Amino acid sequence: MTILLNGIPHPLATPVTLASLLESLGLAGKPVVVELNEVAVFPRDYAHTPVPDGARLEVVTLAAGG
């Protein structure tokens, strides 16, 4: 299966949840904003939100500083 991750095709070997995808990207526990098919997803929902084949996923990391 393939998804579009931040505008770039990203193959996935098996179906995943948002939580497991973020973990595989090294973003687990980090402050991110996730939009799945143009709908924002709350962090509390990552663990039980499946990422379907062909999904359009935008992941934005948050940074603070001056």
Torsion of Cα atoms, 2 then 31 then 62 then 41, to 10°: 50
Q: Which residue has the tokens 């179906």?
A: 15
- Residue 66's pLDDT band (boundaries 50, 70, 90)? low
Q: What is the CATH number of domain 2-61?
A: 3.10.20.30
Higher-pLDDT residue of 62, 38 = 38
pLDDT at residue 63, as a whole number: 81
The Cα 8–Cα 20 span in angstroms is: 19
- Could you read off the pLDDT of 15-60 as tens digits, one per residue? 999 999 999 999 998 999 999 999 999 999 999 999 999 999 999 9
Name the burial class of residue 51, with classes exposed (0-12), middle (13-18) and buried (19+) by CB atoms within 10 angstroms of its CB.
buried
